[in-house]
Every structure is written in C-alpha cells, then in structure tokens.
C-alpha cells in the first residue's frame, strides 16, 4: 500500500554478511552450512505464514524468483491459519518436518519465542534497528535480542461516512477525543425510548463491535500504559495502578470512556446490542464512524460500492501525549530446527530491504514498517492518514495462544456495560486474569 525509495539498500546488503555470520547463534552450524551462492539457492526453504496476501502466498513468493538463481529461488510458502500455526509448528518440529521461516504477527511472539533463533544486539545493534523501523516494530526487539525481522503492519484507522457527516452538518472528522465526544451526539439519532435509529459510532460493546479488544487496547495505550511489560522476572501485567507506570493514567478511565457509548443515560449513547456487527452496520449506512484496520478499505468498497466513506487517523488525546493506535505487526523469524539456517537468515533479512518490502506491502494491502518508505502516495486519498497511523502504531506482548485473552477483555467490557462491575473493579479483575496467563511464559 505504501511505496518508498531505495534508500539504505546499500546498508541493508552490507549487514547481510553479519546475519550470515550469526546464522545459528554464533558458529554452531556455520561450518556445516557454509556454501557458495549457487549451492545456497538450491537449498529448499519453506515459509509458513498467515493468509495476509491478496493472492495465494505461493504465487507471491514465486513471483519474487527471477529464474536466474536469485535469493528467492526454491522457496515454498505454506499458508497457515493463525489459530493452527503454533500447534502445527510444534508438531512439525517434533517430527523433523519443520519450516525454516515463519511469518507471524507480534501477538504470537510470547508463544513462539522459544522456537525462534535470537539475534543478539552485538550482531544487530538496537540503534540500527530503531533507525530502520518504526517504533511499534520494536515489539520484536526484546531484552535479550531480536526475534523477528519486521515486515508489515496493519494499523487501526477511523472510517467515516461522508454523507452522514454532511447530513448532520459536521464539517470535520474529530481529531481528538474531546471533539469526538462532542461530535457523536450530533451524528446519532435516538428516540425518546432510547432506541438508536442511527449510530454516531460503533463503540461501547464487545460482542457486536469488531476489533473491540484492539480498540480498548488503543485507549489503554493512549493512557501511557503498555498493558504487558517484560521484566527481569518475566512478563507482567501493568494494568493495575500499583504496577502501571507512574506517568500513566488509570486504564479504568479508558474502559469507562469506551463503555459510556453504550450507556443510555450518557450524552454519547450511540450503540447497543441490537445492532448488527459494526462493520456490517457501517456498510449499511447505519453508523457514521467505524474503527477498523486500514486493510479493510477495499473490503468496505466491495461490500457497498456506493458507500461514500473516507479514512482518518484514530482520535488522540487533546494534549498530544502518548499518541497511539493499535497495529498488527508482522515479522519473519527463523525456526531453530531449520535445516538451512544460514540461507533462512539471508532470505528473512532480504525480505526487509526496500524493494522486497515494497513488493510485499503491495501484494498484501498492508504497510511496510521501514522508516524510509513512509511516504504518502498523492494519488491515494487514504495514504496520508494511513502513513500517520503506521508511525504511531503500537501493540503489546499478548498471551494470545491461551485463547482467552479476547474473552477476558470482553468480560471486562460486558461486566461494566451490565453494571456488574465498576470500571476499576473490571480492570483489577482483568489484571489478575492476565497475570495468571502470563505465568506460563518464561524468558
């Protein structure tokens, strides 16, 4: 989606040799895998990854091969659903059928960490990493080294119905939450019986709001809270007041803010359980604002070709502090049981070069994470706000493979909406639940 120039390519090729030298955490397999370029390209490499491309992944990587013995010769891409990638990988590693590289989103990092090679900071200085990639990509750079080469990101953005704004005489999409709060009632139509005829925003519930977990995560991160942090003792939830950064605002305020939009006694009331799933409601023109991933733009247009919508940056704090939007960050990690780790490292590193990164972004509808590629396309009306969203995109170390992270966050939202818990009590319970999940992950 975002194209860029060819700057820093010389540098990237220069460090390839360093990664080759590191290939397997030093020199363990270096002698057995050292070979010339012709031999390397004959070594078959299998890549596992989610269905993130707009066409079959095998075609995407096949087209990278120029047929002249290039770096990308003899590569097989196997599409794996995110829910099955981890168990399939564990089984494959145990039966000597392991892939060489996995493409994964950062939400799987805690679970995959002990299955991937670590790149030390002596090999790849953190300064070089920060200079090359946007800040959110640093999720792959852990305390003891780097576990994934950052490739792509899909940030949350604000989709808004231009006709609805015109009908309500609202001239601009809100840029901060204070303006957002003032704007929603102008876009919402509510009967005296509290029936919502048209919603200003799909906000406040869990079950019928797509990406509710990611939206609430964004609000919490905008308070200055990382949700989960890596410490010397392991991974800890920092949702509770006594564990949160001293400069952070209580995450309970984020939960209260989010759920207010489904509370009939609040002026911002605009959503309830009677609505269909948020994206469907937006496509039908029944909601003025919908928060979704940037890659959904094409899907929205396909679902309703007559939908007059635009893309904006997600609202931020009026003070400009802690700017953030949730992003799905994808990286490439080399599997410890790869038969050809040296070649696998070469390929994973090559995927981050400007030319290849631009190609992958174009074939995925996602955005590259290289800083030197974050240039808006003047011909794309959405590009500028997507670029801005990429720059502030963040994620967190999520114990996702427990399968219940989203359920716990959903329970917190539902508990507040139903009145069973206060926002403070719901966050405290979420903190305890997250702490239990994190106990199974070690450094």
Q: Using the 8-state DSSP alphabet, how is residue 75 labeled?
A: E
Decide if 65 is inside a domain. Answer: yes
Q: What is the pLDDT of residue 21?
A: 40
Residue 344 φ/ψ, nearest 5 degrees? -60, -40
- How many CB atoms lie under 10 A from the CB of residue 131? 12
What is the tens place of the pLDDT at every residue in 150-189? 999 999 999 999 999 999 999 999 999 999 999 999 999 9
Co-location of 37 and 176 in the same domain: no
State both tokens at 306.
Answer: 């007559």
Co-location of 220 and 272 in the same domain: yes
Q: Which residues contact 147 (CB under 8 A, 6 or more apart)?
A: 109, 112, 113, 116, 117, 118, 119, 140, 331, 333
Pair 119, 19: CB distance under 8 Å:
yes
Decide if 1 is inside a domain. Answer: no
Co-location of 83 and 135 in the same domain: yes
Co-location of 232 and 363 in the same domain: no
Q: What is the pLDDT of residue 3?
A: 42
Pair 410, 384: CB distance under 8 Å:
no
Decide if 210 is inside a domain. Answer: yes
Pairing of strands 234-237, 189-190: unpaired
Strand partners for 231: 234
Co-location of 352 and 401 in the same domain: no
Decide if 443 is inside a domain. Answer: no
Report the candidate in 408, 393, 376, 208 with the shortest Cα–Cα distance to residue 290. Answer: 208
Angstrom distance (rounded) from CA 347 to CA 228 = 31
Decide if 38 is inside a domain. Answer: yes
Q: What is the pLDDT of residue 246?
A: 57
Residue 85 domain boundaries: 9-154+328-390
Co-location of 77 and 219 in the same domain: no
DSSP string over 173-218? --SBHHHHHHHHHHH-EE-TT--EEEEEE--S-STTSTTHHHHHHH
Residuewise pLDDT in 10s, the chain (443 residues)? 444 444 343 334 344 333 434 433 333 333 333 334 444 778 999 999 999 998 999 999 989 887 656 788 999 999 999 889 999 999 999 999 999 999 999 999 999 999 999 999 999 999 999 999 999 999 999 999 999 999 999 999 999 999 999 999 999 999 999 999 999 999 999 887 778 999 999 999 999 999 999 999 999 999 999 999 998 888 999 998 655 565 568 899 999 999 999 999 999 999 999 999 999 999 999 999 999 999 999 999 999 999 999 999 999 999 888 999 999 999 999 999 999 999 999 999 999 999 999 999 999 989 999 999 999 999 999 999 999 999 999 999 999 876 789 999 999 999 999 999 999 999 999 999 999 999 988 76
Q: What is the pLDDT of residue 192?
A: 79
Co-location of 241 and 181 in the same domain: yes
Co-location of 220 and 286 in the same domain: yes
Q: What is the pLDDT of residue 419?
A: 97
Q: What is the pLDDT of residue 66?
A: 72
Last residue of a domain, one of 373, 390, 407: 390
pTM above 0.85, yes or no: yes
Rg over CA atoms, the chain: 23
Q: Domain with 348 in it: what CATH number?
A: 3.40.190.10
Pair 377, 2: CB distance under 8 Å:
yes
Strands (E), 275-418: 287-293, 309-312, 325-334, 367-368, 393-394
Q: Using the 8-state DSSP alphabet, how is residue 70 labeled?
A: -
Co-location of 184 and 276 in the same domain: yes
Co-location of 359 and 294 in the same domain: no
Number of domains in the chain: 2
DSSP string over 224-274? T--SEEEETTEEEE--STTTS-TTSPPHHHHHHHHHHTT-TTSTT----TT
Q: What is the pLDDT of residue 401?
A: 77
Q: Would the CA dihedral through 301, 307, 308, 309 be positive or negative?
A: negative
Q: What is the pLDDT of residue 440?
A: 85
Decide if 4 is inside a domain. Answer: no
Co-location of 74 and 218 in the same domain: no
Angstrom distance (rounded) from CA 283 to CA 295 = 15
Angstrom distance (rounded) from CA 11 to CA 3 = 19
Decide if 2 is inside a domain. Answer: no
Angstrom distance (rounded) from CA 329 to CA 108 = 10
What is the tens place of the pLDDT at every residue in 375-413? 999 999 999 999 999 999 999 999 987 678 999 999 999
Pair 387, 375: CB distance under 8 Å:
yes
- How many CB atoms lie under 10 A from the CB of residue 351? 24
Decide if 192 is inside a domain. Answer: yes
Co-location of 203 and 131 in the same domain: no
Q: What is the pLDDT of residue 403?
A: 74
Q: Which residues contact 436 (CB under 8 A, 6 or more apart)?
A: none
């Amino acid at each position: 989606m975002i194209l860029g120039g060819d700057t820093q390519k010389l540098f990237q090729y220069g460090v390839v040799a360093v990664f080759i030298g590191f290939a397997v955490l030093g020199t363990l397999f270096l002698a057995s895998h050292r070979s010339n370029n012709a031999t390397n390209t004959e070594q078959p490499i299998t890549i596992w990854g989610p269905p993130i491309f707009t066409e079959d992944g095998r075609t995407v990587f096949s087209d990278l091969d120029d047929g002249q013995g290039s770096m990308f010769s003899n590569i097989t891409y196997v599409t794996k659903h995110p829910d099955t990638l981890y168990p399939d990988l564990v089984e494959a590693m145990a039966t000597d059928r392991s892939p060489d590289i996995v493409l994964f989103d950062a939400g799987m990092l805690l679970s995959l960490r002990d299955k991937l090679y670590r790149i030390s900071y002596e090999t790849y200085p953190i300064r070089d990493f920060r200079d090359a990639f946007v800040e959110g990509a640093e999720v792959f750079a852990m305390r003891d080294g780097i576990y994934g080469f950052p490739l792509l990101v899909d940030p949350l953005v604000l989709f808004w119905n231009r006709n609805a704004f015109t009908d309500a005489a609202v001239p601009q999409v809100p840029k901060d939450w204070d303006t957002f709060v003032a704007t929603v009632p102008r876009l919402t139509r509510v009967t005296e019986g509290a029936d919502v005829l048209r919603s200003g925003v799909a906000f406040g519930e869990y079950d019928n709001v797509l990406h509710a977990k990611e939206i609430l995560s964004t609000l919490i991160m905008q308070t200055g809270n990382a949700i989960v942090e890596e410490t010397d003792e392991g991974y800890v939830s920092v949702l509770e007041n006594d564990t949160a950064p001293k400069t952070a605002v209580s995450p309970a305020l984020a939960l209260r803010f989010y759920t207010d939009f489904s509370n009939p006694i609040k002026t911002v009331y605009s959503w309830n359980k009677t609505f269909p799933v948020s994206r469907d409601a937006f496509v039908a023109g029944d909601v003025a604002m919908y928060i979704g991933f940037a890659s959904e733009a094409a899907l929205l247009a396909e679902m309703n070709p007559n939908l007059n919508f635009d893309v904006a940056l997600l609202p931020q704090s009026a003070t400009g502090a802690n700017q953030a939007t949730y992003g799905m960050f994808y990286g490439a990690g080399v599997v410890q049981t790869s038969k050809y780790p040296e070649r696998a490292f070469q390929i994973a590193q090559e995927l981050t070069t400007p030319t290849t990164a631009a190609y992958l972004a174009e074939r995925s509808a996602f955005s590259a994470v290289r800083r030197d590629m974050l240039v808006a396309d003047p011909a794309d009306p959405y590009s500028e706000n997507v670029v801005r969203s990429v720059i502030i995109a963040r994620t967190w170390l999520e114990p996702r493979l427990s399968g219940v992270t989203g359920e716990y966050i959903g329970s917190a939202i539902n508990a507040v909406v139903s009145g069973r818990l206060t926002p403070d009590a719901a966050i405290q319970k979420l903190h305890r639940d997250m702490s239990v999940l994190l106990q199974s992950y070690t450094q």
